[in-house]
Amino acid sequence: MMENIKAAEPVFSVTSCTARRVLEIVSNKWAVLIIFVLEKGTKRYGQLQRSIADISQKMLTQTLRQLERDGLIERSVLPEIPPVVEYTLTPLGESLIPYLRQLNHWLNEHYPQIEQARKDYDAREKFREDKSTQTV
């Protein structure tokens, strides 16, 4: 009878679940921000960099390449001198926007609770630290 019971497979196992890769995309703040900027239309590299505060050139380049590889954006090189590179959302990238908006809505609605939970946790940890240094 025990032979029929299979061990539980890890959540989002690499071998059984593509959700893992999708989570990598939507949990990457830079990818999400780039998608939201491109929702407003095609942008050049410099426009993207100016639109997203604190993103480094290296991170922007890496994230754009990954989004292009994932089929969420399209990179076009215009035959000008110097060459002009533009980025635009693909239909697949556009299809992700409603879900990102839902996530954004959830975050806006629940972030005060998250902040409070963090404050409560930090206060408990400080109390534990203070208590442990008093007993030593």
- Indicate the DSSP class of residue 99: H
Examine the pLDDT at 2 and tell me if it is beyond 80: no
Stretch 16-32: mean pLDDT, rounded?
81
**pLDDT given for residue 1 in this prediction:** 45
94: exposed, middle or buried (Cβ count in 10 Å: 0-12, 13-18, 19+): middle
Rounded to two decimals, the pTM is 0.76
Stretch 106-110: mean pLDDT, rounded?
94
Q: Are strands 73-78 and 43-44 parallel, antiparallel or unpaired?
A: unpaired
Examine the pLDDT at 122 and tell me if it is beyond 60: yes
Name the residue ranges covered by the structural domains of the chain: 17-134
Position with higher pLDDT, 39 vs 26 = 39
Position with higher pLDDT, 25 vs 58 = 58
**pLDDT given for residue 110 in this prediction:** 96
The CATH class of the 17-134 domain is mainly alpha
Long-range contacts (CB closer than 8 Å, 24 or more residues apart) made by 69-72 = 70/21, 70/25, 72/25, 72/31, 72/35, 72/96
> Which tens digits make up the pLDDT trace of 59-102?
999 999 999 999 999 999 988 888 899 999 999 999 999 999 99
Examine the pLDDT at 5 and tell me if it is beyond 50: no
**pLDDT given for residue 132 in this prediction:** 76
Residues 88 and 74: beta-carbon distance below 8 Å:
yes
Residues 90 and 102: beta-carbon distance below 8 Å:
no
Torsion sign across C-alpha atoms 12, 15, 16, 18: positive
